[in-house]
């Protein structure tokens, strides 16, 4: 389900997925197929980790990346969940063939 809120989506971002919702900053973004696909990948990640553990893992990995890179944006784009979503956001058939726990292969990949 896609909802719109400039208050829920953090400053500097266009969307955020909080299962089972995708929040977009503006209604005009609903037509952005790449953004929607990116957020759908996050929905799948959240489901396979049973939602709450996803957020715990995401937050922990972000903290590790922030210490590693000492830069908010660089840490964010190098979180395994984000790396998977960014690498596959233009592949509109990705979710049909995606294997369980696919984000794990992005844990040790090269930096973005």
In the chain, pLDDT over 90 holds for what percent of residues? 96
Q: Where are the domains of the chain?
A: 31-106
What is the number of alpha carbons within 13 Å of residue 81 lying toward its C-beta?
Answer: 24
Record the tokens describing residue 23, joined without a space.
Answer: 């929040």
Q: Which two tokens stand for residue 81?
A: 């969940």
Q: Which residues of the chain have pLDDT under 70?
A: 109-112
Residue 98, classified by CB atoms within 10 Å of its CB into exposed (0-12), middle (13-18) or buried (19+), is middle
The predicted model scores a pTM of 0.94
């Amino acid at each position: 389900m896609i909802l719109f809120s400039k208050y829920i989506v953090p400053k500097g971002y266009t969307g955020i997925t909080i299962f089972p919702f995708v929040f977009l900053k503006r209604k005009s973004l609903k037509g952005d197929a790449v953004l929607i696909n990116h957020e759908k990948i996050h929905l799948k990640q959240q489901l396979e980790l049973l939602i709450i553990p996803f957020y715990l893992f995401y937050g922990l990995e972000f903290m590790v990346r922030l210490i590693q890179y000492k830069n908010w944006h660089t840490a964010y784009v190098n979180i395994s969940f984000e790396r998977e979503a960014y690498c596959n956001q233009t592949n509109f058939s990705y979710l049909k063939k995606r294997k369980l726990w696919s984000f794990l292969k992005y844990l040790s990949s090269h930096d973005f």
